Amino acid sequence: MVLVPHLLALGLYGLATALALAPFAGLRPASRALTLGTPLTGAAAHVVGVAQLTPVGVAPVLSILALFLVLLQVVSERVFRAAAVAMFTGPLATGLVALALLIGLGPGVEPAPGRNAWFVLHVALSVFGLALLALAFVSAALYLLQFRELKTKRFGQMFQLFPPLERLDRLNHVALVAGFPALTLGVLLAVGYAERYAGGWHVDPAQVVWGTFTWAVVGWAVWARVVRHWAGRRAAFASIAGFAAVLLVYLALKLAEPGTDRFL
């Protein structure tokens, strides 16, 4: 039962990605009903599959991250009219679901046996914060691509399909500002869970290092935007650098101690 919803979500996410990329290949753009309805239908099936998972290990977390990315993609298109976000989030979410299936979301995976709500909320908020950081990266990348189109005065297909720079900058700002409290609550819930249910702080040092580093990076990015009033290209470069640093630190820690029983 875990496998079928994920396979359905995988197929629909792949279709949604194809619809998002079609205009850049010179094909006729799909209707907004399709570009919104296809990923939402996939997300509905995905929720059914995620609800049966224990949120521990690489595969379940990758699946949850993909789900949040798709939901943020839909919000970006619906609220910010930033359909171009799907260029990045669509392939990324599709790849994450496929990777999760390859790692271990198969028929033999046990459904979640009523995991503690405190722990589940910690995982959900932490992964949601990561998804928002990824959205900030995507909006920053789109901003720089659109800026280059304007600077070179090409005004081609990319310029026509990408949102205005102001809208992309706003999306980046909202993603960072929303991501920081989500990560903060996730960290606080982790501390509370460890203290209340595990008899003290018994967390893998690598998880502490990466979680703290990610929280600090997002906090710095929010500080730069809100306090230092960074915007435009400077904020875009900061978001890309922050996301790259978080990803590289994760890969380094994962290579130092490989395994799929935990996210790190």
Q: In tens digits, what is the pLDDT along the chain, a chain of 264 residues? A: 788 999 999 999 999 999 999 988 888 888 889 999 999 999 999 999 998 888 878 899 999 999 999 999 999 999 999 999 999 999 999 999 999 999 987 544 444 444 577 778 888 999 999 999 999 999 999 999 999 989 888 777 777 889 999 999 999 999 999 999 999 999 888 777 666 655 544 567 788 789 889 999 999 999 999 999 999 999 999 999 999 999 999 999 888 877 766 665
Give yes or no: residues 105 and 141 share one domain: no
The angle formed by the CA atoms of residues 176, 88 and 65, to the nearest 5 degrees, is: 60
Determine the straight-line distance between the first and last CA of the chain, rounded to whole angstroms. Answer: 26
Task: Specify whether 17 is located in the same domain as 96.
Answer: yes
Domain boundary among 81, 115, 149: 115
Could you list the residue range(s) of the whole structural domain that residue 150 is in?
117-264
79, 94, 115 - which closes a domain: 115
Instruction: Identify the domain boundary among 115, 144, 171.
Output: 115
Q: Are residues 95 and 136 in the same domain?
A: no
